[in-house]
Amino acid sequence: MNFDTVRKEYVTQGLTESHLDPNPLTQFQRWYEEAVAANVIEPNAMTLATATRDGIPSARTILLKGFDERGFTFYTNYESQKGKELAENPYAALVFYWATFERQIRITGVINKISPEESEAYFKSRPMGARLGAWVSLQSQVIPNREVLEERLTELMNEFADTENVPMPPYWGGYCLAPNTIEFWQGRINRLHDRFRYSRINDDWKIERLSP
């Protein structure tokens, strides 16, 4: 395949500082709501990049499950690769990309676990299959085949056949990334994209335009 011929011009719209809210979380909400209104497939899908203590990176796509003044929340197995890396190195990055709008948002910051009470409240809201799946999957560990997952799921379905009260695994819960920087990227023609970075300074945010 010749990747030199794979090219797209970004022509939808521009972005100026006058378009931006002083608070990047409010600006994020605007763009997120526009993606939802446009029926973008999984608008809350985001890439989470983590690294080991020695700086060896890894990245994967996960789902945002909430955002507020604290930051961006997601849930996972604490014993997974990302969980182990976050225990060693709490600095991480998020990336959202909405091709429909030719937009990208990059976020960096520090990640901490949220309270067990908040994690449990979310866990209880999940579909039954997803709650059982959290018990079935020893996330990131090597397994011999898919059958071990199917068999364990069947066992749990039988065990909880008469109840909806599936407890939250002790190794499962939420994280929140508190942002230090948030960058909004709008595709433009001739690769002269619009980029604005918010940097946290105490309780305020500094906005700067970046060269593409």
d(CA 131, CA 138): 13
pLDDT average, residue stretch 114-129: 96
Per-residue pLDDT reduced to its tens digit, 167-181: 999 999 999 999 999
Per-residue pLDDT reduced to its tens digit, 19-67: 999 999 999 999 999 999 999 999 999 999 999 999 999 999 999 999 9
Catalytic residues: 191
Residues forming a β-bridge with 73: 66, 176
Among 119-128, 144-153, 159-168, 173-182, name the one with the lowest average pLDDT: 159-168
Q: What is the pLDDT of residue 177?
A: 98
Q: Is 65 helix (H, G, I), strand (E, B) or coil?
A: coil
- Residue 1 scores a pLDDT above 80: no
pTM for the model:
0.91
CA triple 201-28-24, angle to 5 deg:
15
Rg, Å, the chain Cα set:
20
d(CA 9, CA 191): 8
- Residue 92 scores a pLDDT above 60: yes
- Residue 10 scores a pLDDT above 70: no
Of the candidates 209, 137, 210, 119, which has an alpha carbon nearest to the alpha carbon of residue 173? 119
